Structures are given as structure tokens and as C-alpha cells.
Amino acid sequence: MTIDKTIDLAEITGAFRDLQDRICSELETLDGSGTRFLEDKWERHGGGGGRTRVFPGGTVMEKGGVNFSHVHGPMPKNISAKLGFEAGQYFHATGVSIVIHPFHPLVPIIHMNVRYFEIENGTHWFGGGIDVTPAYVFRDQAVRFHRLMKDVCDESDPGYYLKFKEWADRYFYLNHRKETRGIGGIFFDHLKDEKAKNWEFVKRVGNSFVPAYTDLVNTNRDKPFGEKEKSWQLLRRSRYVEFNLVYDKGTKFGLDTDGRTESILMSMPPIARWEYNYQPEVGSKEAETLSLLKPVNWLEL
């Protein structure tokens, strides 16, 4: 088996860098405050590195990270053991990873990731997805977001949306809370076959991020809110912390393999709150949101 060279690594890393550039620029416009992303370039000891871009707080976005990385070299033992490959083989891993924490409690947290992995033995795959974590779930917005994800999927494969939507429901699940992280989205990994088709798919996922988030931001950014909504948002952010530190495979992989901690943990919220055994009032918006933190067939397929 050899690597399918019809799409070479340079094309993929180039497209990912370009995606990072475009998304940062479009998010700055969406935020509208004139605040710019700050960039930290970093190098990996064993080969490669990345461009971490962090948004220090503007009008919409309180804290955001849009990271590009391309790391490569002989596969360290701790990585190969986790992936089930022989150590020492030359590998490349590249991707763009985004988490945005908004100020406004009615604007959801959003996460996007697209990634590509290749090993000299010929194994290569794509992974990624987009998912949304609102402090307050609005059904119509969830439906619109999932409709967009379905359109993005359908253009590549009519079987993708349902498969990747259910994968997200399983993946973004806090077993100790018995709740999903949010309204889900799509998640996929180890897409090994049909490289050309899946590369087009991954690019489309990347390009759908800004339109998806723009709708969620602009629908909610001017709605009034008070202390109650803000307090609930901070509480819900603590579940985001719990998911990322307890379950998220990317975070664990990064921390276990001595990745750049500040880039990995850019996903953490600016402020989070824990309150012992908080139970929202029966019939409240907060209780309604909790009741929707389970796999929901938003598009009634």
C-alpha cells in the first residue's frame, strides 16, 4: 500500500493554513470590534509546529482559538502505542482546530476540527467535525444548524449526515452527567478510503464553519439577557471543561504526548462556575435545555 498522491500533503497543509487565515479574518469581521487574533508560532521538538491564534476578547467573542498545526517526524513511542502502529515510522499530522466562547449567554459555544494523518507505511485518514454547545437550546436554530451540516454531508455522500451526526451524539457525551455536550453536529474519524472525495468533504466542512456560526451569532447577539442567563452560561461552561478534560480524545492525546499545553487548552472557557447539585426550576428555560441534552433527531429523518 502506498499513499495516494493524487492529493499530496503540501496541498492539504496549504489548504488548512489558508482555511485558518480565512476563518480568522471572517471571525474578526463577525465580531466587529476591530480586535484582531494574536498569533503564536511554535515548533515541535521532533519536527513541525503550528500557528496558534487566540482572540483576546471583543464584542461577540470572549475567548477564541483558531489553531493550525503540522507536526511530523518519526513516530514517538507514546503516539504509536496509542494509535496501534510501530514506533519510529515517519508520520505527518495536520489540522485546524477551533473553539469559540462568546460573551453572550444566548450565543452558543462552537467547535470545529479538520485533520489529516499520514504514515510512511501508506496509512492515511481524515477526521473532523463541527458541533455546537448552547447554554440555551433553541429548537429552530438547532434545526437550521443541522440542516446546514446535512447539506454539507449530502454533497459528498447521502449516507454521511446520519452516520456522522450519530457519531457526534456518541462522542460528545458526558457519561457522568448523562447528557450530551450540546446539540451535537457531525463528527468523523479514520476516513481512509476515497481520498479525493473525502478531501472535498473535509474542505466543505471547514468552509461551512463561518456560515454556521454567523447564523448562530447574528440570531442571538442582540437579545436581552440578565444575571440569571449569565450565571447559567458559566455553569454550563463547566460541563464543557469536564468534557474536554475527562473525555476529549484530542485533548488527552495532546496532553499525554507532551503537546503544546497552551494550544491544546485554548479550548477552555475564560470563566467557568461549579455549583453543587444545581437543579433548574421545573418548567424554566434552563430545565428545557437540560431535557434536550440527549441525542435528538433534529431533522426528523
Cell numbers at 40, concatenated = 503564536
Cell numbers at 29, concatenated = 469581521
Interface residue with a copy of itself among 241, 280, 288, 290 (CB under 8 A) is: 241
Measured at the CA of 110, the angle between CA 108 and CA 116, to 5 degrees, comes to 170
Interface residue with a copy of itself among 29, 39, 170, 274 (CB under 8 A) is: 274
Question: Closer CB to a copy of itself, residue 47 or residue 57?
Answer: 57
Segment contacting a copy of itself by CB under 8 A, of 67-75, 160-168, 220-228, 260-268 = 260-268
SS3 113: strand
Q: Is 228 in the site for a copy of itself (CB under 8 A)?
A: no
Q: How far is the CB of 239 from a copy of itself (least distance, A)?
A: 10
Q: Is 269 in the site for a copy of itself (CB under 8 A)?
A: yes
Question: Closer CB to a copy of itself, residue 99 or residue 217?
Answer: 99
Q: Is 290 in the site for a copy of itself (CB under 8 A)?
A: no
Question: Closer CB to a copy of itself, residue 121 or residue 238?
Answer: 238
Question: What is the rounded distance in angstroms from the CA atom of residue 273 to the CA atom of residue 134?
Answer: 16
Restricted to residues 39-68, the positions that interact with a copy of itself (CB under 8 A) are: 40, 54, 56, 63, 65
Question: What is the rounded distance in angstroms from the CA atom of residue 166 to the CA atom of residue 170?
Answer: 6
Question: Residue 149 is which amino acid?
Answer: M
Q: How far is the CB of 277 from a copy of itself (least distance, A)?
A: 4
Known catalytic residue: 111? yes
Q: How far is the CB of 126 from a copy of itself (least distance, A)?
A: 27
Interface residue with a copy of itself among 139, 176, 190, 192 (CB under 8 A) is: 176
Interface residue with a copy of itself among 48, 73, 270, 295 (CB under 8 A) is: 270
Interface residue with a copy of itself among 2, 276, 283, 301 (CB under 8 A) is: 276
Unique residue bearing C-alpha cell 429548537: 139
By CB neighbour count within 10 A (0-12 exposed, 13-18 middle, 19+ buried), where does 227 fall?
exposed
CB atoms closer than 10 angstroms to residue 139: 12
Question: What is the rounded distance in angstroms from the CA atom of residue 238 to the CA atom of residue 243?
Answer: 9
Cell numbers at 99, concatenated = 473553539
Question: What is the rounded distance in angstroms from the CA atom of residue 68 to the CA atom of residue 117?
Answer: 14
Q: What is the CA radius of gyration of the chain?
A: 19
Q: How far is the CB of 187 from a copy of itself (least distance, A)?
A: 21
> Of the residues 111, 124, 146, 176, which is catalytic?
111
Interface residue with a copy of itself among 3, 272, 290, 299 (CB under 8 A) is: 272
- Pair type for strands 179-180 and 124-133: unpaired
Q: Residue 190 — left, alpha, or beta (φ > 0 → left; ψ -120 to 50 → alpha)?
A: left
Unique residue bearing C-alpha cell 487574533: 37
Interface residue with a copy of itself among 89, 261, 291, 297 (CB under 8 A) is: 261
Segment contacting a copy of itself by CB under 8 A, of 17-25, 69-77, 196-204, 275-283 = 275-283
Question: Closer CB to a copy of itself, residue 62 or residue 118?
Answer: 62
CA distances from 81 to 85, 88, 240 (A): 6, 11, 28
Which residues in this chain contact a copy of itself in the complex, by CB under 8 A?
Answer: 40, 54, 56, 63, 65, 175-177, 234, 238, 241-242, 245-246, 255, 258, 261-262, 264-266, 268-277
| Catalytic residue list | 111
